[in-house]
A = this chain, B = another copy of it.
Amino acid sequence: MRIGELAAATSTTTKTLRFYEDSGLLPHAKRTAGGYRDYGREAIARLDFIRRGRAAGLTLAQIREVLDIRDAGTAPCRHVAELLDDRLSALDQQIADLQALRANVAHLRDDAAHANPAECEPEDVCRYL
């Protein structure tokens, strides 16, 4: 499989695949006589793994950590669970922050809606954020 086919099969781009190789997420691909990268089908599974990790909000560095453990021949289940726990905490915090902000903005919006435009001072806009 050449790089373009792999890119199409994984809904990504050749640029991204070369970038992943440079970043150590994909092993150095073997080459054809003409110097083209030649991928096996396992590359698709690896890229699906990377894609799922990205979708879960992991950084490429975190994904590489997991892949490195796997490539060393050890099962990274425990490590994956830890990474996901960290990610859950971060998400909970982020959600709580956004909900607090939403409440503030909603309050501010109500005030803006009910205020008499004639007596609406610019300074009032920022009272609640």
Contacts and interface: CB of A to CB of B under 8 A. Distances in A.
Given A77-B113, A105-B84, A129 B56 contact: yes
A128 interface: yes
Interface in A86-108: 87-88, 91-92, 94-95, 97-102, 104-106, 108
Interface stretch (A3-11, A28-36, A46-54): A46-54
Nearest to A123: B70
Interface residues of A, number: 55
A83 to B, nearest CB: 9
Contact of A128 (B57, B80, B124): B80
Contact of A91 (B74, B84, B102): B102
